[in-house]
A and B are shown apart, each in its own frame.
Chain A
Amino acid sequence: MSGDVVVLGVGMHPWGKWGRNFVEYGVAAARDALRDAGIDWSQVQFVSGADTMRNGYPGYVSGATFAQALGWNGARVASSYAACASGVTAIEAARTRILAGMCDVALVVGADTTPKGFLAPNAGDRPTDPDWLRFRLVGATNPTYFALSARRRMDLYGATSEDFARVKVKNAGNGLANPNARYQKPVTVEDVLASPIVANPLHLLEICATSDGGAALVLASASFAARHAGTAGAPVRVAAVSTVTPTYPQTRIDLPDLATDSTAVVAEPARPFKESIAFAAYEEAGIGPEDLSLAEVYDLSTALELDWYEDIGLCGRGEAEGLLRDGATEIGGRIPVNPSGGLACFGEAVPAQAIAQVCEITWQLRGQATGRQVEGAKVGITANQGLFGHGSSVLLAR
């Protein structure tokens, strides 16, 4: 359709612990995406940056930072921050600008350099900041929240530590063929269970690391893409983007809060927050979970990948372990999940990660995911959730 937005080019700087300036990764990814799109930087009319909070001022104005690094070309810029969902918020800024007819070609870039260890809040006493309070008053790290979810699966649905470990084993296997993955090493269930427990029941190998990396997309109007000679065949189409927030009352304790909303007066919504994220994308596109060829979901922990199976509608509540045990979510299964290797193989580069998910689905839908290709992939979804109530999902189709 002429009113569509398409992915003209994708690019990534490999994930790792490189310790260099984040701008370098973003620029490398952007140049890759421009090359992949077959267009010049001078043709980009809008730069949409996904911010990093850990690299000073240039990170807060990432759109301008990347634009300057590529050489000022007069493009309009925006910079978005939505924690782990920053990448999709930046994609949505670019997509809506194209849909509004205000530009034809936009560049979306996210990159990060991250410190070692748990992500911790900024320094100084900030007793009104929920992110400070959860560390000070409860000692609740990010893995605490991941583990609450995992334990609940064990007590309610009979999930086992072996089930969780198998998610890691699957993703590690997928990542072996991904040149952008940080960890390219097979992992066994025994390896996972032998690693130290961080937050019971989750082991060190089940919690995603933080990484350096960069990812970029060139988005364009379908009419520009049709005029543009560089694209062979039908380009991958952005069928929907979801950046929904929760609907009151939010009944799952979510990072960084210490309490839920109350259900005393208003009942929990029919679709709790995490379920509403992908659903909003399905509704916008008129595509359902039964149409999916693959999914890239945010496996911040092994058990969270299982939550996502249910939240994006691949199966009913409590059925995710069964889907995993049946091999349905492996490459070659009914609905492969995280063929890229997921966060298990990447580690999280916060502002780049949601963009990287879109890169992977684009390669998959083009048939270019060498060594990890989902055969005949036509429709893919990304799903993710950012701190402070940021939904993040992109539906792509070809």
Chain B
Amino acid sequence: MTTRTRVPALGAEGWFTTDDQPTLLGRRCTSCGTYAFPKVDFGCPNPSCTGTEFDEVPLSRRGTVWSYTDAQYRPPAPYVVPGEEHEPFCIAAVHLEAEGLTIMGQVVAGVGIDDLRVGAEMELVVDVLFTEDDVDHLVWKWSPVTNASGSNEEVA
């Protein structure tokens, strides 16, 4: 059995942690305290702040659905179809209350449009975006918080 290598997908390096309680990694301005995701390239986005220093901060793992949809058609490249054929998947934009950010991501496989609602609680997971030989390319996804204990089954 070969060992699979797990790496963040190209472009998402440093955007999330991969421990068993994964979080997205945002930036917090050390001057004004505002948040940004995925990162800050050119100084604080707050126009009344001239800050250029940022702390890397884990973002809330839980948020609520701002809105949602699905991809019934195969998206064009650079999207990479993970299997042989395109399987429709859901996409959600999830609002994180503490940071005041809304962040889009795929929803984990097995969740359909009828399982989602504006305002429903979601939790962050890290999952395989696509595989290439022995490499799993990882990305963040949203997973509905469904069971009584409020925690998700481990994904991937």
Contacts and interface: CB of A to CB of B under 8 A. Distances in A.
B103 A258 contact: yes
B118 A262 contact: no
B102 A121 contact: no
Contact of A125 (B78, B98, B139): B78
B98 A117 contact: no
Contacts of B101: 259-262, 264
Nearest to A120: B76
B34 interface: yes
B47 interface: yes
A263 B101 CA distance: 7
A138 interface: yes
Contacts of B46: 248-249, 265-266
Interface in B1-42: 9-12, 29, 32-38, 41
A336 B98 CA distance: 42
**B: contact size bracket:** 35 or more
Interface stretch (A64-72, A197-205, A224-232): A197-205
Interface stretch (A101-109, A127-135, A160-168): A127-135
Given A148-B93, A249-B100, A200 B70 contact: yes
B77 interface: yes
A135 B102 contact: no
Given A135-B78, A259-B101, A156 B11 contact: no
A120 B78 CA distance: 8
A136 B78 contact: yes
B126 interface: no
Interface stretch (A139-147, A307-315, A384-392): A139-147
A155 interface: yes
A262 B38 contact: no
B11 A133 contact: yes
B45 A259 contact: no
B113 interface: yes
B10 A144 contact: no
Nearest to A124: B78
A140 B104 contact: yes
B76 A264 contact: no
A148 B94 CA distance: 11
A150 B80 CA distance: 26
B80 A262 contact: no
B56 interface: no
A200 B78 contact: no
B67 interface: yes
Nearest to B130: A136
Contacts of B69: 144, 147-148, 150-151, 199-202
22 contacts: A118-B76, A125-B10, A132-B78, A136-B9, A136-B80, A138-B105, A138-B106, A138-B139, A140-B75, A148-B66, A148-B91, A199-B69, A249-B46, A251-B102, A258-B105, A259-B102, A260-B101, A261-B36, A262-B101, A264-B100, A265-B29, A265-B33
Sorted nearest first, the 4 A-B pairs with minimum C-beta distance are A127-B11, A263-B100, A147-B69, A155-B118
